[in-house]
């Protein structure tokens, strides 16, 4: 089929690769504009652009997709199908009908659960035991279109969002290949709106640790909010990111939430809500590199009785 592919991050690359390996003609790749990142704010290309350039594909990066010019350009390909994988923008109606067979999306959740921008992150944060990938026809309302196929997977109790995302990206590519192969026989199934849940966009504020939460809840945020905004707290008027931790019961009853209970050698334990405690294995002060607990404690004056979350 003649396909226009729309995607931006690394998680979209396996799907584009699958389309090419399955012999489809990718007539254009639409992706977000290059953005400044890192020290010096150097311009960085999206992962999809880098992949598409290596394969000589036509690339479009319109800064605005609702203009007349962008809509006309999209329609000009006369494609059989549009495929969207984490493009990063809600498509106007003209895009959904421009291709002969419509527009198919690979979404990284088991719809109708976790519609929205960050389904993988919120599935971990909320303690889900399973998630998956869904292929569906795109409609104007966010992630509400009829479902074509789904594939389920268990979430490992220690899995971070980037690790789970890599697995789902590969699974989604496989499901996309199967979906297009069986497109003529599949019967789209409407979503049950009563079961819909949402995965809102992450913000920097999402990462602030509430030490009155249980250690289990905080540990899930540590895993689920990577690689950004991360789970972080204040210490000595600096932002302190926690990269790896585990939850424990039976914290000291008299300890305040965020209070350091142990700080020696490899052991850094912090009091949390409901008599739980968080043991921290890896952490990072703002502007510094990530360190294992022993190295961090050797380089700071953190001690028992100090409080995290205090400016």
Domain boundary residue, one of 167, 199, 231:
199
Model confidence at 249, pLDDT cuts 50, 70, 90, reads confident
Examine the domain organization and report whether 188 and 129 are in the same domain: yes
Q: Which residues of 73-94 are buried (b: 16+ CB within 10 A; e: fewer)?
A: bbeebebbbbbbbbbeeebeee
**Number of folded domains that form the chain:** 2
Evaluate if residue 254 carries a pLDDT over 90.
Answer: no
Q: Assess whether the previous peptide bond of 112 is cis (omega < 30° from 0).
A: yes
In a domain, residue 222? The reply is yes
Q: What is the pLDDT of residue 192?
A: 97
Percent of the chain with pLDDT over 70: 98
218-245 pLDDT per residue, tens: 999 999 999 999 999 999 899 999 999 9
Examine the domain organization and report whether 231 and 88 are in the same domain: no
Average pLDDT, the chain: 95
17-72 pLDDT per residue, tens: 999 999 999 999 999 999 887 666 788 999 999 999 999 999 999 999 999 999 99
Examine the domain organization and report whether 193 and 237 are in the same domain: no
Whether residue 218 contacts residue 211, with contact meaning beta carbons closer than 8 Å, is answered with: yes
Q: Which phi and psi (to 5°) does residue 233 adopt?
A: -140, 175
Examine the domain organization and report whether 124 and 80 are in the same domain: yes
Lookup: tokens for 102: 């419509």
Model confidence at 270, pLDDT cuts 50, 70, 90, reads very high
Q: What is the pLDDT of residue 251?
A: 65
Expressed as residue numbers, the domain containing 117 is 2-199
Examine the domain organization and report whether 88 and 60 are in the same domain: yes
Q: What is the pLDDT of residue 39?
A: 67
In a domain, residue 71? The reply is yes
On the CB side of 58, CA atoms within 13 Å amount to 12
**Radius of gyration of the chain, Cα coordinates, nearest whole angstrom:** 22
Examine the domain organization and report whether 157 and 243 are in the same domain: no
When pLDDT is averaged across residues 271-283 and rounded to a whole number, the result is 96
First CA to last CA distance, the chain: 58
Residue 216 vs residues 223, 233, 266, 303: alpha-carbon distances, Å: 11, 16, 20, 23
173-206 pLDDT per residue, tens: 999 999 999 999 999 999 999 999 999 999 999 9
Domain boundary residue, one of 152, 173, 199:
199
CATH of the domain at 175: 3.40.50.170
In a domain, residue 310? The reply is no
Evaluate if residue 257 carries a pLDDT over 90.
Answer: yes
Examine the domain organization and report whether 195 and 211 are in the same domain: no
Examine the domain organization and report whether 68 and 12 are in the same domain: yes
Examine the domain organization and report whether 168 and 286 are in the same domain: no
Lookup: tokens for 208: 């602030």
Evaluate if residue 214 carries a pLDDT over 80.
Answer: yes
When pLDDT is averaged across residues 91-118 and rounded to a whole number, the result is 97
Evaluate if residue 73 carries a pLDDT over 90.
Answer: yes
CATH of the domain at 278: 3.10.25.10
Examine the domain organization and report whether 90 and 219 are in the same domain: no
Examine the domain organization and report whether 93 and 125 are in the same domain: yes
Domain boundary residue, one of 199, 216, 244:
199
Q: What is the largest CA-CA distance in the chain?
A: 69
Helices (H), the chain: 13-21, 47-54, 68-76, 93-98, 119-125, 161-181, 215-224, 293-298
In a domain, residue 303? The reply is no
Could you tell me which residue, 17 or 248, shows the higher pLDDT? 17
DSSP 260-280: EEEEETTEEEEEETTTEEEEE
Model confidence at 172, pLDDT cuts 50, 70, 90, reads very high
Report the distance separating Cα 226 and Cα 244, nearest Å.
Answer: 10
In a domain, residue 94? The reply is yes
Lookup: tokens for 123: 């599935």
In a domain, residue 178? The reply is yes
Evaluate if residue 143 carries a pLDDT over 90.
Answer: yes
């Amino acid at each position: 089929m003649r396909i226009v592919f729309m995607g931006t991050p690394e998680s979209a690359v396996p799907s584009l690769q699958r389309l090419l390996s399955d012999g489809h003609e990718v007539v254009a790749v639409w992706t977000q504009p290059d953005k400044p990142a890192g020290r010096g704010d150097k311009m960085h290309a999206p992962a999809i652009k880098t992949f598409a350039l290596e394969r000589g594909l036509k690339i479009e990066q319109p800064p605005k997709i609702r203009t007349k010019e962008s809509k006309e350009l999209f329609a000009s390909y006369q494609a059989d199908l549009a495929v969207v994988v984490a493009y990063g923008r809600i498509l106007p109606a003209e895009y959904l009908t421009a291709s002969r067979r419509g527009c198919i999306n690979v979404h990284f959740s088991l719809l109708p659960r976790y519609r929205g921008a960050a389904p993988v992150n919120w599935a971990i944060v909320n303690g889900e035991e399973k998630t998956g990938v869904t292929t569906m026809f795109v409609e104007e309302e966010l992630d509400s279109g009829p479902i074509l196929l789904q594939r389920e997977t268990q979430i490992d109790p220690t899995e971070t969002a980037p690790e789970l995302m890599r697995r789902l990206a590969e699974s989604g590519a496989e499901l996309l290949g199967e979906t297009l192969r069986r497109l003529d026989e599949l019967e789209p199934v409407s979503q049950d709106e009563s079961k819909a849940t949402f995965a809102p966009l992450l913000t920097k504020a999402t990462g602030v640790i509430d030490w009155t939460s249980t250690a289990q809840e905080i540990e899930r945020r540590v895993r689920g909010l990577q690689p950004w905004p991360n789970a972080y707290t204040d210490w000595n008027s600096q932002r302190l990111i926690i990269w790896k931790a585990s939850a424990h019961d039976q914290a000291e009853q008299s300890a305040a939430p965020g209070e350091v209970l142990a700080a020696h050698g490899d052991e850094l334990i912090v009091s949390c809500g409901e008599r739980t405690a968080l043991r921290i294995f890896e952490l990072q002060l703002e502007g510094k590199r990530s360190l294992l607990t022993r190295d961090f404690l050797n380089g700071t004056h953190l001690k028992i009785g100090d409080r995290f979350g205090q400016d």
